Amino acid sequence: MYWSAEIRQEDFNSPLKEKFLDFIMEKRKCGNKYICEYHHLRRFDKFLCLRMLDGRKLPRELVLEWIAYQEGESARSQFARVSMARLFATYLFYHGIDAYVLPRGMCRIPRYSFCPHIFSHEEIRRIMLVADNWRPVGNAPILHVVMGVLFRVIYTCGLRAGEAAALKLSDTDLLNGVLVIRQGKFRKDRLVPMADTTRDRLRKYVTEIPLDRPDDPLFPNRFGIHYNPLSLYLLFMQLLWKLRIPHGGRCKGPRLHDLRHTFAVHRLEAWIKEGVDLNSKLPLLSAYLGHVGIAGTQRYLRLTPGVFPEITHQLDSMFEQLAKGGKNGYN
């Protein structure tokens, strides 16, 4: 995680302090992590303090000033602030506080036009080769051991970077070759079977680094604690640089998350070559990836237009049949 999930009273100081804290607690009781949102709300509270908010109210002029575009801000970042301001104001309104609620039309999420990079099988081979042969670094004595296994697990198991970073020694069943993903996205736990080659590599790995207690991070950084996703992303950028794989800059990719996306596309590609029916396989892939339903997997894979036309064709046919069948499909 980028930030702690702890709720601290001292983070909020405006006249609406108690309502901010109550709102966050209510969202978390409903199963939402509310970590990034927590920090958006903390900034909103700080803004209200600077504007010397008078009394328990949320006037229109302050809301509009808060949601205004900030220099250098992406459209999605602005949308996050707009969305949180509307949700919080709605909460205040239903609790009898005078608050300006933004019109619903102002909370439309920007069109997501980013197209993930699907690594070729040769690029994946080269990525793993470079990671396996990472040179030892003085201030990170086990990094060269961790790199090859960490990126291999992310790719071959289709994990999110945060899920891989959060793994503990106790989350690995090396006898049966299964990883336990705890509190992944949507707070879902799941079991992730590993390929035999990944399981064997992980068995060898745990004998090479000092892992003694069940709660030890499976992939410790130089301080012996879990990596955060940003650190993993920066390591991945170094790896791409060594391979001379061009990076388009911020929000352009390739991203570390594209290893997970590549896993999904490569898996579909293999099934098509084997001649299997995607109608029976896609729900399995959805569960393996930790998606809520196959509609999420469909949207996830549609971000790769033209990469594998045969996959797109089969998905189009499949979801056209589901649409004709009404709302009782896999959702």
Tens digits of per-residue pLDDT, 58-98? Answer: 999 999 999 998 887 777 788 888 989 999 999 999 999 99
Nearest residue to 97 via CA among 68, 125, 131, 63: 63
Does the pLDDT of residue 186 top 90, yes or no? no
The enclosing H or E element of 192 equals: strand 190-193
Answer with the one of 84, 107, 130 that is the final residue of a domain: 107
Tens digits of per-residue pLDDT, 259-310? Answer: 999 998 898 888 888 888 877 888 888 889 888 766 667 665 655 545 555 5
Does the pLDDT of residue 102 top 50, yes or no? yes
Average pLDDT over residues 119-148: 89
The enclosing H or E element of 190 equals: strand 190-193
Answer with the one of 201, 216, 243 that is the final residue of a domain: 243
Q: The dihedral of CA 91, 93, 99, 101: what is its sign?
A: positive
Does the pLDDT of residue 187 top 90, yes or no? no
Tokens of 18: 């108690």
pLDDT of 326: 43
Helices (H), the chain: 17-29, 36-50, 60-67, 75-94, 121-132, 143-157, 161-165, 196-205, 229-243, 257-274, 278-289, 294-301, 309-324
Do residues 13 and 54 both lie within one domain?
yes
Q: Is residue 127 part of a domain?
A: yes
Q: Is residue 330 part of a domain?
A: no
Do residues 201 and 230 both lie within one domain?
yes
Tens digits of per-residue pLDDT, 17-63? Answer: 999 999 999 988 887 778 888 988 999 999 999 998 888 899 999 99
pLDDT of 205: 94
What are the C-alpha distances in Å from 65 to residues 60, 99, 294, 309?
9, 14, 40, 46
Do residues 261 and 239 both lie within one domain?
no
What's the number of domains the chain is made of? 3
- Is this model's pTM higher than 0.75 or not? no
pLDDT of 74: 77
Query: Is 90:111 a contact under the CB 8 Å cutoff?
Result: no
Do residues 233 and 201 both lie within one domain?
yes
Do residues 60 and 18 both lie within one domain?
yes
Q: Which domain holds residue 17?
A: 9-107
**Phi, psi for 320 (deg, rounded to 5):** -65, -40
Q: Is residue 160 part of a domain?
A: yes
Do residues 233 and 262 both lie within one domain?
no
Answer with the one of 211, 243, 275 that is the final residue of a domain: 243
